[in-house]
Structure 1
Amino acid sequence: MAILNVFGQEVGADVEGWTTRAFPEKVVLKGNYCRLEPLDRDKHGPELFDAYGKAGQKLWTYLPVGPFNILEEYLEFINQLNETGDTVPFAIIDKETKRAVGTLCLIRIDQASGSLEAGYVAFSPELQKTIIATEAQFLLMKYVFDDLKYRRYEWKCDSLNGPSRRAAMRLGFKYEGTFRQVVVYKGRTRDTEWFSIIDKEWIYIRKTFEQWLDERNFENGIQKRGLATIRENLLN
Structure 2
Amino acid sequence: MNTLTLENNRVKLTLLDKSNYTQLEHVAQEKDLIFFSPSDISAPEKLKAYVKLAVDGYNLKTTIPFIIYDKDKQAYAGSTRFGLINQKNKVLHIGWTWLGHNFQGTGLNANIKFLMLGYAFETLDFEKVEFRIDERNKKSRRAVEKLGATLEGVLRQDTVMKDGYRRSTCCYGILKTEWPLIKATIFKTF
SS in structure 1 at match of 2:84? strand
TM-score for both structures, normalised by structure 2: 0.90
1:26, distance to aligned residue in structure 2 (A): 5.7
Segments of 4+ in structure 1 off by > 4 A?
none
Answer whether contact 1:52 1:125 (CA < 8 A) is retained. no
Instruction: Name the residue aligned to 2:7.
Output: 30
Matched, 1:152 2:128: yes
1:183, distance to aligned residue in structure 2 (A): 2.1
* Higher fraction of strand: 2
Within 5 Å, which residues of 2 pair with 1:116-155? 116-155=92-131
Structure 2: gaps (5+ residues): none
Amino acid at match of 2:35: T
Answer whether contact 2:92 2:130 (CA < 8 A) is retained. yes
TM-score for both structures, normalised by structure 1: 0.73
Instruction: Name the residue aligned to 1:72.
Output: 45
* Higher fraction of helix: 1
**What RMSD, in angstroms, separates the aligned Cα atoms of the two structures?**
1.7
Q: Between Structure 1 and Structure 2, whose CA radius of gyration is higher?
A: 1
1:209, distance to aligned residue in structure 2 (A): 4.2
Instruction: Name the residue aligned to 1:60.
Output: 34
Structure 1: gaps (5+ residues): 1-24, 214-236
1:97, distance to aligned residue in structure 2 (A): 4.2
Identity of aligned residues (%): 27
1:82, distance to aligned residue in structure 2 (A): 0.2
Matched, 1:47 2:20: no
Number of paired residues?
Answer: 185
**Per chain length, whose mean CA-contact separation is higher, i.e. which structure has more relative contact order (CA < 8 Å, sep 6+)?**
2
Q: How far apart are the structure 2 equivalents of 1:135 and 1:49?
A: 23
Matched, 1:113 2:86: no
